[in-house]
Amino acid sequence: MTRDQLRRQLTAIEPTEDTYAGLSAADVDVLVELVKEDEDWIAARAIHALARIGSERAFEAIIAVCGDPRREIRAAAAGAARLLPPAASDAVVERLVGDGDAAVRKLAVQSVTPRTGDQLLALVGDLARNDADPRVRDRAQQAISDARTS
């Protein structure tokens, strides 16, 4: 799809799975460009679209935005991590559990699944014990519990 076509598709007021329908690895480069948009919500939707594509290049693009200065973009990557295969998901969550923004850390912790590796679970365990924000601590404790009981 062209940039304009993809942008139009991603601008649905209420996103549904149809918002992300028909995307393929051929759209990754255009989606990466949309991540650079000034409108954070379009960039965030592009990240969620990349997570649904399933190509290595799409996963690499999501991992790369973990260092973006915009909180909304890092938050979108954290939220999209649970849609990724285990290695890519762990790479995103690992980068974001130490984020300076509590909301981003909380979203990263929410992307922990039973597939999450032991090394990353240890980092989340540290958050469960030591994070300055009680909401992050609580969510990290829940994530550890959920990951171990599933």
Q: How far is CA 9 from its chain centroid? A: 20
Task: Name the residue with tokens 């007021």.
Answer: 13
Q: How crowded is residue 78: how many other Cβ atoms within 10 Å of its Cβ?
A: 28
Q: Give the chain's mean pLDDT.
A: 93
Q: What is the pLDDT of residue 33?
A: 96
Task: Read off the pLDDT of residues 88-120 as tens digits, 9 standing for 90 and up.
Answer: 999 999 999 999 999 999 999 999 999 899 999
> How is residue 113 written in tokens?
């699944």
pTM given for the model: 0.91
Instruction: Tell me what the mean pLDDT of segment 56-84 comes to.
Output: 96
How far apart are alpha carbons 86 and 112 in whole angstroms?
10
How far apart are alpha carbons 48 and 65 in whole angstroms?
12
How far apart are alpha carbons 90 and 80 in whole angstroms?
12
Instruction: Tell me what the mean pLDDT of segment 19-24 comes to.
Output: 90
| Statement: residue 150 has pLDDT above 70 | no
Task: Read off the pLDDT of residues 120-149 as tens digits, 9 standing for 90 and up.
Answer: 999 999 999 999 999 999 999 999 998 888
Cα separations in angstroms, 22 against 18, 29, 49, 78, 84: 8, 15, 10, 23, 18
Task: Name the residue with tokens 């909180």.
Answer: 71
Q: What is the pLDDT of residue 77?
A: 98
User: Does 1.25.10.10 match the CATH number of domain 3-149?
Assistant: yes
pLDDT band at residue 19 using 50, 70 and 90 as cut-offs: confident
